[in-house]
Amino acid sequence: MQHNIPTTKLGPLGEEMAAAVSTCVHCGFCLAACPTYDVLGQEPDSPRGRIVLMKDVLEGTLSVDDASPHIDRCLGCLACEPACPSGVPYRDLISPYRATTEAKRKRTLIDRLSRAMTNATLPYPSRFRLAARLGRFARPLAPLLPQSIAAMLKLLPDRLPPKQTWAAVNPAIGTRRARVALLSGCAQSVLAPDINSATIDVLTRNGVEVVVPPKQTCCGALSWHVGNLSQAQKFAVANLNAFPDDVDAIVTNAAGCGSGMHEYALILKGTEFEARAKAFVGKVKDVSVVLQELGELAPLPETRKPVRIAYHDACHLSNAQSVRSEPRSLLSLIPGVELLEIPDSHLCCGSAGTYNVDQPEIAKTLGEDKVRNVLSTTPDLVATGNIGCLTQLESHLLSAGSDVNVRHTIQILRDAYAGAL
């Protein structure tokens, strides 16, 4: 696709956006892969349609606000990338576009308030914990509140798990095979801190020393995906300084976080930190990848009874990081586990960071569709690799009247080692 995008006027991200636009040949292979096109059936709500809209805005022939409704509906799930025969790097377009055009947006007061609340709470565990506790008292008022605020309240659990902390250094058990640094995360460390505990348990059990840098911050993915470039850059720089260089890998156990950290070089493009970011990105790996690369793992005991596990591909693990086989291989190592494939597994569950808050109706439809497909496999358990997916699936399984539990892949491995599966 030809363009007349004035890259020099768009800052450091201009060239990436222009290259992504140019790569698109408008073939339409992305349509079947796109969750919002699947739900809405409208060309502007497909990757191909959004690329045209973003191109027109960047060229100055369409206003930002005219394109915004369709751009806002994009989940950023990147299912379009593996479906694209031309290799359009859609990730190099959607988030940079949002960052470039955010200052030109005309947002309502409610919209600004909702964004301010998420930006000020979600990336900060202590603030988020307090906000979650206070939010429960506001639930009875949800029907009277704006849709985005009501959706935010609905997502809060009835009770938060106890706060957990992790040692700065967790020694390997037996011979040390590797040394890694773990991103503990923000929302996940509040909503499901046991995922980090399970990660440390499984890694150390397999000879991996795990460092948990005390000065780390939010990965910045939430900020980056909604166009808050300055906040994303602040978090990225803080993590470049917080994580040690003398580790074999920087481990993530949340797909969205891993995807966001893989984009640090783009987030910090044109700054003094760009070179350091490129080196940092080269070490970022999902925990399933780290375990798979170790080779032979400590033997896993057989389950107490046969367990049918449906594996849900988190979009930012399968699409953004191309991590698909590793979690499946690890779960298949557990004697007594039958791994199940979910129909239409390429379609997003509707979580996607703050999408539940920003686009609650579409998120609800996608969540219901995903759970319907999950239950069609008649699983005993659902496994996934992202806290957002886990929360979304739990919510919609409960609404569907199902008692099937959702666990992180690493929690299932830890439980298997403990003989609790």
Dihedral of alpha carbons 397, 200, 179, 294, sign = negative
How far is the CA of 144 from the CAs of 123, 124, 149, 359, in angstroms? Answer: 27, 28, 10, 18
Judged against a pLDDT cut of 80, whether residue 151 lies above it is answered with no
Whether residue 325 contacts residue 288, with contact meaning beta carbons closer than 8 Å, is answered with: no
Residue type at position 258? G
Q: What residues contact residue 266 under an 8 Å CB cut-off, 6+ apart?
A: 13, 16, 92, 95, 96
3-state secondary structure of 211: strand
7 touches 18 (CB < 8 A): yes
Q: What is the biggest distance separating any 2 CA atoms in the chain, rounded to whole angstroms?
A: 64
pLDDT at 79: 96
Note the pLDDT of residue 250. 98
- Tell me the one-letter amino acid at 206: N
> CA angle, 353 as apex, 360 and 193 as ends, to 5°?
120
pLDDT tens-place string over residues 30-72: 999 999 999 999 999 999 999 999 999 999 999 999 999 999 9
DSSP bridge partners of 250:
181, 284
Q: What is the pLDDT of residue 157?
A: 78
DSSP letter (8 states) at residue 140: G
Question: What are the structural domains, with CATH classification, of the chain?
Answer: 7-104 (1.10.1060.10), 109-154 (no CATH), 169-293 (3.40.50), 299-417 (3.40.50)
340: pLDDT strictly greater than 80: yes
- Token readout for 5 is 């995008």
What band does 224 get if pLDDT is binned at 50, 70 and 90?
very high
Is residue 307 predicted with pLDDT exceeding 70? yes
Model pLDDT for residues 8-32, shown as the tens digit of each residue = 667 888 888 888 999 999 999 999 9
Q: 292 CB contacts (<8 Å, ≥6 apart)?
A: 326, 329, 330
Amino acid 110: pLDDT: 82
Half-sphere exposure in the Cβ direction for 73 (13 Å, CA): 23
Tens digit of each residue's pLDDT (9 = 90 or more) over 273-296: 999 999 999 999 999 999 999 999
Query: Which tens digits make up the pLDDT trace of 160-193?
Result: 899 999 999 999 999 999 999 999 999 999 999 9
Burial 340-366 (b: 16+ CB within 10 A, else e): bebeeebbbbbbbbbbbbbbbebbbbb
Which residue type, as a one-letter code, is found at position 297?
L
- pLDDT digits 0-9 by tens, 110-141: 888 888 888 888 899 999 888 888 877 777 77
What is the number of residues in the chain? Answer: 421
Q: Helix, strand, or coil here: 271?
A: coil
> Under the phi-then-psi rule, with left for phi > 0, alpha for psi from -120 to 50, and beta for the rest, what region is 282?
alpha
- Whole-prediction pTM: 0.94
pLDDT digits over 186-218, tens only?
999 999 999 999 999 999 999 999 999 999 999
- Cα 34 to Cα 27: distance, rounded to the nearest angstrom: 14
Determine the 3-state secondary structure of 401 from DSSP: coil
Between the CA atoms of 87, 259, 413 and 372, what dihedral angle is there, to the nearest 10 degrees? -70
Task: Extract the tokens encoding 226.
Answer: 């909604």
Residue 153 confidence class, pLDDT cut points 50, 70, 90: confident
